[in-house]
Amino acid sequence: MENVKIIDILGADDTELTRISKEGILSLNLEEMHAIMDYFRKAARNPTDVELETLAQTWSEHCVHKTFRGIIEYQEQSTVHGPRSTEKRRTTNDLRRTTIIDNLLKQTVMKATKELDKKWCISVFKDNAGIIEFDRDNAVAFKIETHNHPSALEPYGGAGTGIGGVIRDILGVGLGAKPIMNTDIFCFGFPDLPHEKLPGGVLHPKRICKGVVAGVRDYGNRMGIPTANGAVIFDNGFVCNPLVYCGTVGIMPKDKCFKETKPGDLIVAVGGRTGRDGIHGATFSSVELAKDTEVSAVQIGNPIVEKKATDVILQARDKNLYNAITDCGAGGFSSAVGEMGKDIGARVYLERAPLKYAGLTPWEIWVSEAQERMVLAVPPHKLDEIMAVFKAENVEATVLGEFTNDKKLVLLYKGEKVCELEMDFLHDGVPRFRRKAVWDAPETRPPRLCRGEVSLRRGVGAENPEQILKKILSHPTVASKEWIIRQYDHEVQAGTVLKPLQGKENDGPGDACVIKPLFRSNRGIVISNGINPSYGKLDPYWMAASAIDEALRNNICAGGSLEKCALLDNFCWGSPEKPGQLAGLVRASQACYDMAKAYGTPFISGKDSLNNEYFDQDSGKKISIPPTLLISAISVIPDIGKVVSMDLKSPGNLIYLLGETYDELGGSIYYSVNGLNGGMVPKVNPGKAAVMMKKLQKAIREGIVRSCHDCSEGGLAVAAAEMAFAGGLGAEIQCQRVNVSRPASVGGQATCQSLRNDMILFSESNSRFLAEVKPKNRRKFEKIMNGNKSPLTPLSKGGNGGIYSVIGKVKKDKRFKVYGLNGKLIINADIYELKEAWQKTLRW
């Protein structure tokens, strides 16, 4: 054959098979190579390079989620701590209980959705994005993707194509949705990391951060989609492998939510041209990064090409000119055509693909991840009309081939057959993984008190509570992200009715964003997120539970609706081949099931990015990122006129704390700024929390909550301070009035620490809100919170499921005051000084 290479696998031994996979960046393991060998042995021939590349792409972790869909042997080992030592001792009944998990995704995340069976879920886990009902005529779709490895190598291009890719997911969901909002969440190393601590070949975190922000800015702004929500986490676990999550929400008519490719439909490629950029993106995401990783796997973006394609595709959709559409993402044409023709078959003439430049081999054309390309299934009699729509706006479109009925994938290049694979083998032939997961519970003992903590208890000393509060406000994870937010056009399309920056001077940190997608309707969507990798280092189960609680908290306190709220999961993990890493993934997934069920909030879509590792040549070790789960929440509300911002509104109003505070400082920013590890990770009681959230939602709908903010990183003190300086008002908080609950017991071990100011102020216990209420509405508010039951009635007997108390007041003077447990003033700070501490860190 002239244009392709034949790869001799039939005559290869295991060493040779491994070499073929590794050198070709195919990321296929030996078992998979054997499956391929068996297939071709039956066919009595060797594969072409096109066939091998097609299989590698289709079977990549990125595309088929082999770990989540495989078989996992999960073991838990319980550890017991000696009474006076920190060393771990395994007891005799050392747990060796093994659970077999057949398809983790189906057993956890998807199972919750299935069991909840919400009528307003239109399409879940099937398509490019999850789709839920918006109003009688419209639906909204939501998807979040990661683009971690490309962003590590080339931050600007990697992040830009990350957002470009997820926009195409929305454009290619069902018969296509119109993008109406972007959300971006990043995890980086500390921006002030000393250069000498940077491993070889790694870009500095500040450089990565700036590049990623610029990439998202330039792509998102040019697409005319408001980037109105996000978060940025700084932790040195992400120095070598940053995380870049990009998400898009779209709106579509309800009758355009499903697609069906039909035999005889023409395969039409629309948009950008194919080039050599982004070769092996799908398979390369399964390889750990290293000093010499090739940058050619990063795609090159051009947002205006995508904007043009978006404009014409939505016109063609409204004229019913095609039967199916999907985006070219990871795996390029191979993935798009392969998926669309999965049940019927497809025939493609590769030489027809318009190229950026000559010289691409057939396999490169087929798997290139060049950007801005969509594939449509067009009935032949509509071809002329659809081509006219594209031509009218100078959008290039080409008929690549047709969908057939022979259940085969056939590729031709200049008359030569370069690939012939059975669709069944291509899509179902991948051997299932069988992997081991072993959970070894980490240290939960609280760390010994440090100097800061001791002085905090006394309320005196070098580091008084005010200084600690300022230090926490200056922590980059807590600090103002205004420098980033303002670079995004967060108001284009004119529907951002609750903006990311709020308050008197438009600079307070909003909890969620609210979009009103239709000009002539007051219905809206509330978008929020929850993420906290610090908890992941302690226990991925509680990290996942906390992320879900946080996403829901953010959503509810802005005016979202728990009854019509859907979730997305995005797992970023280290290598699933490490039993400890995999066990964490199992635990996090279990939490997803437990929480989704308890809150009644189904998952509608998700993605996993595993193998987030860096091979450090100096130490010879593979470094994993901290396990990180991003949870995003979308809820639909009937009236955007009821939503609430987080800034304090008027002096004299009462400040309520809803929820219980526990001694849960593990993974907190307070520990982080004091250099402490360990401790109790925040837990969630979803039953109680859901009841509380529904009551708060009712109070917000009745219009008696003037401002509301959740307690997250930095705890109660940070939340209250943010509300104060965002509103340009003072506040007075009494620690004595805070409901502190008995520490929960974990792993058979209870922590017994006395009540302390620092715990009250900085514990990051979940399910807590601060709400501002006018004194005249006090009774009304409390009646809603009591639910006509005494506050002391247990939950099992229909009690209010939570505790609330007035912990302070809004003040006219611009001072933030906190009274300690002994009634003494322990913080008395000017709000503008606190604001300055909060703003200065990331004011680049």
Partner 1 sequence: MKKAKVIVLRTAGTNCDRETVFAFQAAGADVDLVHINELIQGGKNLEPYKILALPGGFSYGDDIAAGKVLANELIYKLRQDIRKFVQSGKLVIGICNGFQVLVKTGLLPHSTLTFNDSGKFEDRWVYLKNVNRNKCVFTRGIKGIYLPIAHGEGKFVTDSKTLKELEKNDGIVFKYVDGKGREAGYPWNPNGSMDGIAGICNKEGNVFGMMPHPERFLSRYQHPHWQREKLPEEGGGLKIFKNAVQFAARHL
**188 SS3 class:** strand
Q: Does 200 bind partner 1 (CB under 8 A)?
A: no
Q: Which stretch binds partner 1 (CB under 8 A): 156-164, 292-300, 480-488, 824-832?
A: 480-488
**Angle subtended by helix axes 303-318 and 155-171, to nearest 10:** 0
Q: Which stretch binds partner 1 (CB under 8 A): 261-269, 276-284, 492-500, 765-773?
A: 492-500
**How far apart (Å, rounded) are the C-alpha atoms in residues 623 and 640?**
45
Work out how close the CB of 219 gets to partner 1 at its nearest, in angstroms, rounded to a whole number: 11
The tokens describing 257, both together, are 């939510």
The residue among 148 and 496 lying less far from partner 1, judged by its C-beta, is 496
Residue whose C-alpha is closest to residue 527's, from 251, 142, 245 = 142
The residue among 209 and 689 lying less far from partner 1, judged by its C-beta, is 209
Region 747-786 residues binding partner 1, contact defined as CB under 8 A? none
327 marked as binding residue: yes
Work out how close the CB of 513 gets to partner 1 at its nearest, in angstroms, rounded to a whole number: 12
Residue selected from 145, 489, 660, 663 as contacting partner 1 according to rule CB under 8 A:
489
143 marked as binding residue: yes
Work out how close the CB of 810 gets to partner 1 at its nearest, in angstroms, rounded to a whole number: 13
145 marked as binding residue: yes
Work out how close the CB of 215 gets to partner 1 at its nearest, in angstroms, rounded to a whole number: 13
78 marked as binding residue: no
Q: Kindly give the pairing relationship between strand 408-413 and strand 416-422.
A: antiparallel
Work out how close the CB of 759 gets to partner 1 at its nearest, in angstroms, rounded to a whole number: 33
The residue among 224 and 743 lying less far from partner 1, judged by its C-beta, is 224
The tokens describing 315, both together, are 């016109």
Name the burial class of residue 359, with classes exposed (0-12), middle (13-18) and buried (19+) by CB atoms within 10 angstroms of its CB: exposed
Count of residues for the chain? 844
Q: Does 516 bind partner 1 (CB under 8 A)?
A: yes
Q: Does 702 bind partner 1 (CB under 8 A)?
A: no
Q: Does 12 bind partner 1 (CB under 8 A)?
A: no
Work out how close the CB of 308 gets to partner 1 at its nearest, in angstroms, rounded to a whole number: 5
Q: Where are the alpha helices (DSSP H) in 265-378?
A: 281-284, 303-318, 332-340, 362-367
The residue among 493 and 561 lying less far from partner 1, judged by its C-beta, is 493
Q: Which of 65, 147, 149, 280 is catalytic?
A: 147
Work out how close the CB of 608 gets to partner 1 at its nearest, in angstroms, rounded to a whole number: 32
Residue whose C-alpha is closest to residue 324's, from 372, 373, 272, 378 = 378
**How far apart (Å, rounded) are the C-alpha atoms in residues 284 and 288?**
8
Residue selected from 488, 781, 816, 819 as contacting partner 1 according to rule CB under 8 A:
488
Q: Which of 62, 149, 204, 475 is catalytic?
A: 62
Region 277-306 residues binding partner 1, contact defined as CB under 8 A? 302-304
Q: Does 224 bind partner 1 (CB under 8 A)?
A: yes
Work out how close the CB of 652 gets to partner 1 at its nearest, in angstroms, rounded to a whole number: 15
**297 SS3 class:** helix
627: how many CB neighbours lie within 10 A of its CB? 26
Q: Kindly give the pairing relationship between strand 408-413 and strand 289-290.
A: unpaired
The residue among 405 and 506 lying less far from partner 1, judged by its C-beta, is 506
Torsion of CA 632, 635, 639, 641, to 10 degrees: -20
Active-site residue flag, 62: yes
Helix (H) or strand (E) run with residue 412 in it: strand 408-413
Q: Does 486 bind partner 1 (CB under 8 A)?
A: yes
The residue among 565 and 644 lying less far from partner 1, judged by its C-beta, is 644
Q: Where are the alpha helices (DSSP H) in 407-486?
A: 423-428, 451-458, 465-474, 482-485
Residue selected from 404, 493, 668, 777 as contacting partner 1 according to rule CB under 8 A:
493
Residue selected from 34, 207, 307, 737 as contacting partner 1 according to rule CB under 8 A:
307
510 marked as binding residue: no
The residue among 199 and 224 lying less far from partner 1, judged by its C-beta, is 224
The tokens describing 163, both together, are 């957002």
Q: Does 251 bind partner 1 (CB under 8 A)?
A: no
Q: Where are the alpha helices (DSSP H) in 393-422?
A: none
Residue selected from 194, 519, 618, 752 as contacting partner 1 according to rule CB under 8 A:
519
Please provide residue 596's backbone torsions phi and psi, each rounded to the nearest 5 degrees.
-60, -40
The residue among 216 and 568 lying less far from partner 1, judged by its C-beta, is 216
The residue among 161 and 611 lying less far from partner 1, judged by its C-beta, is 161
586: how many CB neighbours lie within 10 A of its CB? 24
Q: Does 491 bind partner 1 (CB under 8 A)?
A: yes
Q: Which stretch binds partner 1 (CB under 8 A): 291-299, 386-394, 538-546, 760-768?
A: 386-394
Region 636-655 residues binding partner 1, contact defined as CB under 8 A? 640-641, 643-645, 647, 649
**How far apart (Å, rounded) are the C-alpha atoms in residues 138 and 147?**
30
Size of the site for partner 1 (CB under 8 A): 42
Q: Does 223 bind partner 1 (CB under 8 A)?
A: yes
Work out how close the CB of 817 gets to partner 1 at its nearest, in angstroms, rounded to a whole number: 23
Q: Does 511 bind partner 1 (CB under 8 A)?
A: no
299 marked as binding residue: yes
Residue selected from 48, 60, 128, 502 as contacting partner 1 according to rule CB under 8 A:
502
Sheet holding 98-102, edge to edge: 98-102, 71-77, 434-440
The residue among 5 and 222 lying less far from partner 1, judged by its C-beta, is 222
**How far apart (Å, rounded) are the C-alpha atoms in residues 407 and 613?**
38
276 marked as binding residue: no
Residue whose C-alpha is closest to residue 657's, from 820, 465, 803, 478 = 803
Q: From start to end of 219-344, where are the E strands?
A: 227-234, 243-253, 266-271, 289-290, 324-327
Q: Does 393 bind partner 1 (CB under 8 A)?
A: yes
Give the N- to C-terminal CA distance of the chain in Å, as an integer.
Answer: 57
**Angle subtended by helix axes 579-599 and 686-701, to nearest 10:** 50
Active-site residue flag, 81: no
DSSP state of 684: -
Work out how close the CB of 222 gets to partner 1 at its nearest, in angstroms, rounded to a whole number: 5
Q: b/e map of 480-514 (b: 16 or more CB within 10 Å)?
A: bbbbbbebbbbebbebbebbbbbbeeebbbbbbbb
Site string for partner 1, 706-735 (x = CB under 8 A): xx----------------------------
The residue among 496 and 601 lying less far from partner 1, judged by its C-beta, is 496
The residue among 315 and 464 lying less far from partner 1, judged by its C-beta, is 315
192 marked as binding residue: no
**How far apart (Å, rounded) are the C-alpha atoms in residues 292 and 616?**
11
CB 445 within 8 A of CB 691: no
Residue selected from 143, 204, 280, 308 as contacting partner 1 according to rule CB under 8 A:
308
Residue selected from 202, 501, 592, 654 as contacting partner 1 according to rule CB under 8 A:
501
Work out how close the CB of 172 gets to partner 1 at its nearest, in angstroms, rounded to a whole number: 20
Sequence-distant (6+) residues with CB within 8 A of 109 are: 569, 589, 592, 593, 596, 603, 606
113: how many CB neighbours lie within 10 A of its CB? 23
Alpha carbon separation from 808 to 653, 738, 817 (Å, rounded): 9, 10, 10
Q: Which stretch binds partner 1 (CB under 8 A): 190-198, 458-466, 635-643, 766-774?
A: 635-643
Give the annotated binding-site residues for ATP: 143, 569, 606
Give the annotated binding-site residues for Mg(2+): 145, 169, 327
Catalytic annotation, residues: 62, 147
* Binding footprint of partner 1 on the chain (CB under 8 A): 217, 221-224, 302-304, 307-308, 392-394, 485-494, 496-497, 499, 501-504, 506, 516, 519, 640-641, 643-645, 647, 649, 706-707
